[in-house]
Structure 1
Amino acid sequence: MGKGFSLGARSGLGDYCHVGASGGVVIGDDVICGSYVSFHSQEHVFSDSSRPVRDQGVTEVGISVGDGCWLGVKVTVLDGTVIGPNSVVAAGAVVKGNFPPRSLIAGVPARVIRSLD
C-alpha cells in the first residue's frame, strides 16, 4: 500500500530499520544506513485544536535520499525531507526539510552543521 519504496544500487539498510512508504521513500545509489534508521513518509495534521488529531487527516509528501549519503544509527527521517547527494546525517538526528548536497546534518531537530566541501 502507499506510493512505495525504492532502494538504489549498492545501498543498504542496517538491522531493525523501518520504512513507512505510504508517501513514498526513494533512496539513491551507494547509500549507507545504520541500524534503527526509520523513514516516516506520512505525517498527521494537527492544526485544528478543536478536533482530535486522528480526525484531521495526514500529509504524504514523500522522502528522498540522494546518492552517496550516510545515515548514522537511529536517524529518523520525516515526511517531506530531501537529503542532497553525498551528505552525512549524524547518529540520532531527527531530519525534516530540504538539505543541500554534501552537508553534515545533525541534531534534534536536524540542521546543517557545515558543508563537506
Structure 2
Amino acid sequence: MIIIKIWYHIWAIVKKFFYKIIYRKKIEIAKNVTWRRDFSIMVGKNGKLQIEKDCFFNNGCTIGVNKSVVIEKGSIFGENVKIYDHNHKFADITKSIKSQGYSNGMVRIGQHCWIGSNVCILKNADIGNNCVIGAGCVISGKIEDNTIVRANNQYILETLKQ
C-alpha cells in the first residue's frame, strides 16, 4: 500500500511539472497538492487556475477552466469531482450547440472544504470556507462558510466543529 501511495505522489509531481510547462502562467499549483489517477486539467486561452497548498484530488477528478477557478488551501475532493467555470451556449436554435461557444463564469472553493464523490461544481459557484458538499450534489451558486450541503440540495445551516 505504501508503494502505491509513493507512486501517486511521484506521478503527481511529474504531471504538475508538465501542466506548468503546457499552461505556463495560466496555472498556479502550490506545494503539497497531490492527486490520484485520472486527474485532468484543461485551461482555455483566457483561463486561470489557482490551487493553493495542501489540496488533494481523488481518482477521476476534472477541472475545466475558461475564465477562473480558485481552490483555496487544504481542500479535499472525493472521486469523480467535476469543476467547470463555463457552460455551452444554446439559445440560437438555428445553430448547433457546439458552434455557439461558451458562457463563462468563475468558481471559488474556500479553505478546508471537503467535496464528496461525484459532485459537479458549475460556473459561478462560490463555496465558503470549511464547507462539506455531500456526494452527488450539483453546485452553481453561493454556499456560505461552515455549511453542509446534502445530495437532495438541502442546506444544513450548522457550524462545523473544529
TM-score by length of 2: 0.64
Counterpart CA distance in 1 for 2:50 and 2:83 is 12
Higher relative contact order by CA 8 Å / sep ≥ 6: 1 or 2? Answer: 1
Q: Which residue of 2 aligns with 1:89?
A: 133
Q: Greater CA radius of gyration, 1 or 2? A: 2
1:112 Cα deviation after fit: 4.4
Q: Which residue of 2 aligns with 1:100?
A: 144
Q: Which runs of structure 2 are paired with 1:11-90 in the superposition (5 Å)?
A: 11-90=55-134
Counterpart CA distance in 2 for 1:37 and 1:112 is 19
TM-score by length of 1: 0.87
CA separation of 1:89 and 1:53: change in aligned 2, threshold 3 A: same
Structure 2: stretches of 5+ with no match in the other structure: 1-42
Counterpart CA distance in 1 for 2:102 and 2:58 is 28
Identity %: 24
Query: 1:37-84 deviations in whole A, cap 9, x for unaligned?
Result: 111111012234444323333111121000111001111111111111
The 3-state SS of whatever aligns with 1:54 is helix
The one-letter code sitting in structure 2 at the alignment partner of 1:116 is E
Counterpart CA distance in 1 for 2:48 and 2:58 is 19
RMSD: 1.7
**Which structure features the higher share of helix residues?**
2
Structure 1: stretches of 5+ with no match in the other structure: none
Paired residues in the alignment total: 115
Counterpart CA distance in 1 for 2:133 and 2:101 is 30
The one-letter code sitting in structure 1 at the alignment partner of 2:158 is L
